[in-house]
Structure 1
Amino acid sequence: MSTARQITEDELNARRSRTVVWVVTISTIGLIFDGYDLVVYGAVVSTFLKDPTQIGEVTPALAGTLGSYALIGTLVGALLAGSVGDIVGRRKVMLTAYAWFSVGMLVTALVSNSTMFGVMRFVTGLGVGALVATTGALVAEIAPAGKKNLCNAITYSGVPIGSLLSALLAIMLLDSIGWRGMFMIGASPLLVLLPLAIFRMPESVAWLVSRGKIDQARALSERTGVPLPEAPTAAQEAAKREKVGFAGLFSRGYWLPTILLGFMSASALMLVYALNTWLPVLMEGAGFNTKGSLSFLLVLNGGAIVGALIGSRVADRFGPKPVVVASFVIGAGAMLLMTLSLPLALLLIFVSIVGLGTSGTQILIYGFTAGYYPTPMRGAGVAWCAGFGRLGGVAGPLLGGFLLAAGLAVSTIFFVLAGIGMVGALITLLVQRPNRPMEIHSTPIEPSAAATS
């Protein structure tokens, strides 16, 4: 092989590495603000419960309802983005989502009553859902083979990082800037992240090929170093017959796994949002002060990040399904142990393990789903996971509010949540790989004449 050709291949590899780093970095930052947006409410809800001068009188039941509005918006936004993203591309949807939820957070900070607060939480949730649903598809299509679960885990770790950041900033700043200042922080991507993404976030090469835009895909592949998909004739013909978007999700061979993946995600997200909304209140009920209770959110989401990153490496080697099952079971066991009278240090350890079994599990589920579907329906698949799963997310804050309003003991509430985790593990065991032709492979494009001259 000639020296010039070797240099060209090295340059293509270097370009791909830079592209992967940029995409994963921007996507992670986007989901940090995404996670901040959805969890900041849990960090300030105690303010609403205690002070009716903020947005009016808020009861525990109304607080649970308000907490669900953003998740309803997320559900709608994710499902819409799934179809739109498979048709117009990943990049356009993600850029729109960055702008949308930033403006939504800013307007939310300015409202003065619970009705408008709920409306704006729904509107903001539309952008949040679109971003969560589209990010996994783009990252899965750009990440190298053998590192797709890891790249997805790094990216979706942005959600618990944002949750952690929300709790940390609430501890440090809530007394001085109030809940309105906390929401204004969530609007900052409009000034920082969006301009960066416009210049550095490429479209998916695989998506361009799936839409028949071969020339654009070839040019983008050479510029970014991301391999141009190629496949044997049989696989190409199968790809042409593959239904696009949500129609593909419910076609023969996919409909049952699609339903199971939706309920699997719903189980995890019910736990995620029940705990991120109500854990501080539960721990106050267990005798901790406000700042100490918020600290449990830090530990919960820190455990999710570490657990998901470790789990993703195992998933890349052995497959994501057994890892997701194990995460559900481990998290449920940790919740049961939290019902015991434990020293603080041991309690914090179990809270971090609960983070693995809730937010950490959901991160792994996104990677599982992104790798499960072929390119023509991948965006819709991740959108279904994020969107239908938000039914569980909507139910989480409502469930917590209902259980608290019913006067149940903190230990009883943890028993209920542990049971939901075990249901999630059982659903995951039922998911089977569908019978379909071999997936399209990715191979490096041939360098252009200009590149080798």
Structure 2
Amino acid sequence: MTSTSASAEARRSRTLHWVVGLSFAALLFDGYDLVVYGTVVPTLLADKSQIGALTPEQAGTLGSWALIGVLVGALTAGAIGDLVGRRRIMLVNIAWFSVGMALTATTTSIFTFGAGRFLTGIGVGALVATVGALVAEFAPADRRNRYNAIVYSGIPAGGVCAALAAIVLDDVAGWRGLFWIGALPVLLLLPLAWAKLPESPLWLLSRGETERAAAVSRRTGVALPAAGTVPATQATKADKVGYAALASRPYLVPTILLGLMSFSGLLLTYGLNTWLPQIMEGKGYGKDYALAFLLLLNLGAIVGGLIASWVADRKGARRVVATTFLLAAVALLLMPFDLPFTVLLAAVAVAGVGSIGTQVLIYGLVSNYYPTSARAAGVAWCAGFGRLGGIVGPVIGGILVGAGVGGSTAFQLFAAVSVVGAVVTLCVRGVAGGRTSTAVTPDEEAAVARDAVPA
């Protein structure tokens, strides 16, 4: 290796670490937001002096307000992310998310609390929809699943932080203090992102900005495709960008199936994170034990998701996602039984791998599937449409808990969703060959070859 190539590789490695680190930190607070609501639901239900008299059904609906915001934010980011770039979306929505959390901490009514959750969700959705595209364009093709898993494991890691904060700080700071913690990114993360987060040179190239792309490539060490290896539509402004590309013939059916995969994964993720503490309290476990189950659910997702991503880079993400969905189904079916405590803990951890961990893998699969001109829209579609599942999950849990049905029915229903997710994932193989080799670079084709069969 020459000194010039060694220097470029060092710059690329340093840039990649900044991109991965900043993206992880952004999603850490996304995961914090996801779980912190579940930790405060018992308090809000028990004490009407906080935001008013709250029923379980209303609590489930409030949990969904943030997800409606996520849907709006993700789809909006997808509509403009392939037009305005990854960096701008990230910076704006780190600030937006923080302001939403701060407003939620000050609310005194059910309506204003829901409005704060909705505003927060817009920032969350835009971040989730953008980081997958960003990381896929900086990471080496043969390690994209791994780097995506590291970044998206920020979501369960944030869940762990929220559960720990609730256990340690709830009596000191109260539920409002937990939301104020979620406003910290505007002070801690935004200045770093402003200074260190580059724009994607591949995105610049896809928009026809060849001089800027070359300048960013030299500064970051991220190599641009060699001349002659990129189709003309990639070297100039693409005819179909964003959602228009997703609706084109090669991508339409796979896009629908990938959306259904994300719908299943996020229904499980949000349903379990919102209602697991309440269900476990109903089974006779104290508040700290119930929060410990939530902690274990997210820890299992982190460890299991990273291991599964390592396998996905070797065996293909599609088969791994189907397997983890099925593991979640088995674990959820076992949880209502009178299991030994250690076995119950193992089942909760496996459920975390098969729900939150599976969604981490889905984001990696999707971000690797689409070309640069449609990548942000593809990830945004799955994050946005999937959030419909996230909206349904807390509402279903609230209805079941409010009806006094108990945790058994909820776990069985979530297990059925896991099986549906596995079936949909396996169906992707039959249509994945519909993508065309002219839509992406050779590196991108190699990265998804294991998940596609020729048409």
Tell me if 1:263 matches 2:260.
Answer: yes
Instruction: Look up the match of 2:452.
Output: none
What residue in structure 2 maps to residue 25 of structure 1? 21
User: Would the aligned equivalents of 2:55 and 2:402 in 1 still touch at CA under 8 Å?
Assistant: no
**1:99 is matched with which residue?**
95
Query: CA shift at 1:406, angstroms?
Result: 2.3
2:225 is paired with a residue whose SS is strand
Matching residue's letter, 1:192: L
Which residue is equivalent to 1:451?
Answer: none
- Structure 2 residue aligned with 1:450: none
Tell me how far apart the structure 1 counterparts of residues 103 and 402 of structure 2 sit (CA, whole Å): 30
1:191 aligned counterpart, secondary structure: helix
Instruction: Report the Cα distance in structure 1 between the residues aligned to 2:313 and 2:388, rounded to whole angstroms.
Output: 28
Cα offset, 1:236, TM superposition: 3.0
One-letter identity of the residue aligned with 1:323: V
**Deviation of the 1:46 alpha carbon:** 0.5
2:306 to 303, 306, 309: 309
Question: Aligned pair 1:182/2:182, yes or no?
Answer: no
When structure 1 is superposed on structure 2, of 359-368 and 401-410 the one drifting more is 401-410
> Aligned with 1:408: secondary structure?
coil
Residue aligning to 1:209: 205
- Structure 1 window deviating more from structure 2 (198-207 vs 333-342): it is 333-342
Q: 1:319 aligns with which of 303, 316, 321?
A: 316
Report whether the alignment pairs 1:133 with 2:144.
Answer: no
Q: How big is each residue's C-alpha offset from its partner over 1:322-378, in whole Å with a ceiling of 9 and x where there is no partner?
A: 010001001111111112211111110110000011000000000000011111000
Q: How far, CA to CA, are the matches of 1:190 and 1:237 in structure 2? A: 38
Aligned to 2:214: 218
Aligned residue type for 2:72: V
Residue number in structure 1 paired with 2:144: 148
- Alpha carbons 1:137, 1:379 under 8 Å: kept: yes
Instruction: Tell me the percent identity.
Output: 56
Match 2:49 to one of 42, 50, 53: 53
The aligned residue for residue 436 of structure 1 is 436
Shift of 1:39: 1.7
| Deviation by residue 1:6-62 (Cα, 9 ceiling, x = unmatched) | 111100000000011111011101100111112211010100000000000000000
Asked if 1:360 corresponds to 2:357, the answer is yes
Q: In the aligned structure 1, how far is the partner of 2:268 from the partner of 2:89?
A: 28
Across the two proteins, how many residue pairs are aligned to each other? Answer: 439
Give yes or no for contact 1:242–1:376 (8 Å, CA) kept in 2.
no
Residue correspondence of structure 1 range 286-301 to structure 2 within 5 A: 286-301=283-298
Kindly indicate whether the alpha-carbon contact (under 8 Å) linking 2:207 and 2:235 is maintained by their aligned counterparts in 1: no
> 1:416 aligned to 2:407?
no
The residue number in structure 2 matching 1:349 is 346
- Is 2:371 aligned against 1:370? no
CA distance in 2, matches of 1:155, 1:233: 29
Q: Deviations over 1:286-316 (max 9, x none)?
A: 1100111000011000000111101111111
The within-5 A match list for 1:239-278 is 243-278=240-275
Cα-to-partner distance string for 1:128-184 (whole Å, 9 max, x where unaligned): 100000010000100012110000000000000001110111000011110100000
What displacement does 1:109 show? 0.4
TM-score by length of 1: 0.95
Greater shift, 238-247 or 12-21, is seen at: 238-247
CA distance in 2, matches of 1:440, 1:114: 50
Contact 1:15/1:224 (<8 A) preserved: yes
Equivalence for 2:376: 379
Amino acid at match of 2:91: L
Q: Which residue of 1 aligns with 2:195?
A: 199
User: How many angstroms apart in 2 are the aligned matches of 1:436 and 1:231?
Assistant: 20
Question: Which residue number in structure 2 is paired with residue 283 of structure 1?
Answer: 280
In 2: Cα distance, 1:27 partner to 1:238 partner: 25
List alignment gaps of at least 5 residues for structure 2: 445-455
CA deviations 1:261-302 (Å, max 9, x no partner) are: 111101110010110000000000111001110000110000
Quote the offset at 1:442 in angstroms.
6.1
The equivalent of 2:450 in structure 1 is: none
CA contact (8 A) 2:230 2:441 kept: no
Distance 2:83 2:226 in 1: 21
SS in 2 for 1:56: coil
Aligned to 1:447: none
> Mind listing any 5+ residue stretches in structure 1 that lack a counterpart?
444-453
The answer as to whether partners of 1:235 and 1:437 remain within 8 angstroms in 2 is no
Return the alpha-carbon distance in structure 1 between the equivalents of residues 384 and 256 of structure 2: 12
Kept in 1: contact 2:205–2:235 (CA 8 A): no
SS of equivalent residue, structure 1 residue 54: coil
- The structural deviation recorded for 1:242 is 5.3
Q: Is the 8 A contact 2:205 2:234 kept in 1?
A: no
- Write the deviation string for residues 224-269 of structure 1: whole angstroms up to 9, x where unpaired: 0111123636733477665100011111121111111111101110
What amino acid does structure 2 have at the position aligned with 1:336? L
Cα pair 2:166 2:178 within 8 Å, conserved = yes
- Cα contact 1:73–1:122 (8 A) shared by 2: yes
